[in-house]
Amino acid sequence: MKKTAFVIALLFLCVVTSTAQKPSLELTFTAIDSATHIQLDSIKVMNRSQGGDTVLYYPDTVLVLDYITGVDEVNSNGDGLRIYQNYPNPVIESTTISIYVPEKGLVRCMINDIMGRVVHQYEEVLESGVHSFSYSPGGGEMSFFTAQWKDSRETIKILQSNITKSGSLSLSYIGMDDAPEYEIKAFAAKEGFPFELGDKLYYIGYVDTLEGGLIDVPEISKIYTFQFAYNIPCPGMPTITYEGQVYHTVQIFSQCWLKENLNVGTMIPGLEEMSDNGIIEKYCYNDVEDSCVKYGGLYQWNEMMLYKQYPNISGICPPDWHIPTDEEWKFLEGMVDSQYGVGEIVWDSLHCRGFDAGNNLKEKEAIVPSGWTPNKFGFSMLLCGERSLKGSFVRIHNSSETYTSTRGPDGYSLNAYFRSMYKILGCSERMYSSKQYGKSVRCIKD
């Protein structure tokens, strides 16, 4: 009996997936504020490897990418039935499913469990437009919602959260949406979006005036969760202890950072160069150990990287943390700047960029415009200066100088990208310079 049931389930899954272009990836997006589920307004997906972008508008929060041709174009002409991915997904208690009916007609809906068994059916004559249903799975791990209108038939997969509340299964009609243009927006935006395996994608989620971002190189279908909390300790991890010191954490949208500059290692004089001797070495401003206690250590790039040459490495950061890349800094800047968002071209340029990203990340000792709240996002960047190439210490109380793990552009392999924030400027400066400077280090959670 179990073998027969397995075969039935396998056949059902084959039928469900046979209408999609293969091979493909299914990217599902959801959002939380700290631990509370919230509704996304839209999601922008940018291909940083090939160029091009696409936008998903709620309730369409799933992007299907074909390995070869880009976005799956099933119903891309808008002439057929369309099911929008349920929201929220995974389901905790209940979820909303919306379908687009091109013109008035009989619509048949059914729910199948993971074994392929029909567990609920519904049929009704529906007007042209977007119609919404409330669905409570009542337990289990996964179910499938299928809708049919004339010869057009679609199925979506609905995931149940591991905290899904038990109860009875139900599917009830909510009503008709007054904005059927969702169908037009969702598919017109996706047409022609380029994608190949190995491409780096930016995901940017929008809720009201806020935006959160993620970076990934997707290889399998995934559920991505945008975090919209900021200036709070990272959920479940307010502090960490590393090498005998306690560091606080700060959540800034989808990034979790250490709130203090790293202070690890043995102090050496500023006139000495750091070396690959198996000992983590640091500079302290003016060769005073107490400066490291307040401002963190200053490190040459190779020492910070533990003499490895590739980005996204832990280096001298704690386990499960790493030195942020140039791109991760760009994301941070775009999320906190009030005028320029994540992925905008301004962040790819050099020198001082943005409108107020620097002001929003600096600690209150900086000079900011009247009425401005410094350190709005809790990043608490201190103006701790740097160690110069000659071994002297400069610019304390005037600027912060913080390394990324990204080497300089082609032809500048002896350089590395860094960020500067200034006492009297609101921008955030992106530059590259010799790896021999001693600069601050911040760590970001893996």
pLDDT attached to residue 371 = 60
| Each residue's pLDDT tens digit, 339-376 | 999 999 999 999 999 999 999 999 876 555 566 677 89
The 10s digit of each residue's pLDDT in 147-181 is: 999 989 898 888 876 554 567 889 999 888 754 44
Give the DSSP letter string of 316-339: TSPTTEEPPPHHHHHHHHHHH-SS
Q: What is the DSSP code string of 260-286?
A: S----SEE--TTSPP--SSS-EEB-GG
pLDDT for 49 beyond 70: yes
- DSSP code string of 143-179: EEEEEEETTEEEEEEEEBPTTPPP---EEEEEEEES-
Q: Are strands 201-207 and 42-47 parallel, antiparallel or unpaired?
A: antiparallel
Whether residue 329 has pLDDT greater than 80? yes
- pLDDT of amino acid 366: 58
434 vs 169, more confident:
434
- Which pLDDT score is estimated for 178? 54
Q: What is the pLDDT of residues 77-118, one digit of tens each?
A: 446 888 887 777 778 788 889 898 999 999 999 998 888 888
Does position 28 have pLDDT exceeding 70, yes or no?
yes
- Report the Cα–Cα distance between both ends of the chain, in Å, rounded: 45
Give rounded-to-5 percent helix, strand, coil for the chain: 15, 40, 45
- Phi first, then psi: give them for residue 310, nearest 5 degrees: -115, 150
Whole-angstrom distance, CA of residue 282 vs CA of residue 403: 14
- Residues 431 and 386 sit within 8 Å (Cβ to Cβ): no
Where residue 71 falls among pLDDT bands split at 50, 70, 90? very low
Per-residue pLDDT of 183-209, as tens digits, reads: 333 333 445 688 888 889 999 999 998
**Mean pLDDT, the chain, whole residue set:** 86
State residue 18's pLDDT score.
44
Instruction: Answer whether residue 387 shows pLDDT above 60.
Output: yes
What is the per-residue pLDDT across 257-291, written as a single tens digit (0 to 9) for each?
999 999 999 999 999 999 999 999 999 999 999 99
- Cis before 194? omega within 30: no
| Distance, CA of 368 to CA of 338 (rounded, Å) | 15
pLDDT of residue 10: 46
Q: Which of 228, 218, 221, 216 is nearest to 255 (CA)?
A: 228
Could you tell me the residue ranges of all domains in the chain? 2-227, 239-445
> Taking the model in full, what pTM does it have?
0.69
- The pLDDT, as a whole number, for residue 183 is 37
Q: Phi, psi (5° rounding) for residue 185?
A: -65, -50
**Is domain 2-227 in CATH 3.30.930.10, yes or no?**
no
Is residue 17 over pLDDT 80? no
Residues 62-89, mean pLDDT to the nearest whole number: 64
